[in-house]
Amino acid sequence: MPAGEDSLAHRRHVWSRVIPQSQYSLTNRLDLEKIFGRNAPLHVDLGCGDGSFLRAVAHSMPEKNFLGIERLHGRIRSSERKTVDQSNVRLLQIESSYAVCYLLPAGSVETFYLLFPDPWPKRRHHPHRLVTPDFLNSVHVALQKNGVIYIATDHLDYFRKIQDIAESNSSLAFAELDVELPPTGFELIFRQKGTPIHWLVLRKISPVK
């Protein structure tokens, strides 16, 4: 093998985890079977960050498909490197809200993970928060029957706001945290500082009226 060919092949393999723009349209739903090359239950990591959690959770469930969504290019590159050997992972560089509302097919998602989203703590920045009534309605549409979304935050005000929004959504019910998930980088930092972590689990129970 010529010098450098192995590293070039490795880089090409790394990039294959990111869904190329040629495989999706901003105006059409994703063809998930084509993207993953198989039909399997879909788990979606919203704001997958550096890919540490995505790598761990995808490794623990090889029978599932995992889609990591992240808007920042540097984080997508980090996630690529961490998941290079995991055939059940794909990455999409786009805003999470747009992907949930416009790209994920109805009833296609078994599980969402929304772990430590930006709390935008200043009041004037609250409109930038991801979790809104419209967002949870879109989550409901994307979830399959009895599908769930796991939400975690260290920010108590944001947690209470999410609770209020969820309580007003009759199509999602509060559920117990029934799985032990791998810790994210943020979670490890908060644990070391003794910062309380607030969890919310919502399960799809009925169509939006």
Catalytic residues: 118
Helix residue spans in the chain (DSSP H): 5-15, 32-36, 52-60, 73-82, 96-98, 133-142, 156-167, 185-193
Backbone angles phi, psi at 39, to 5 degrees: -110, 110
Q: What does the block give as tokens for 154?
A: 């260290």
Neighbours of 83 (CB within 10 A): 24
Please say whether the beta carbons of 169 and 137 come within 8 A: yes
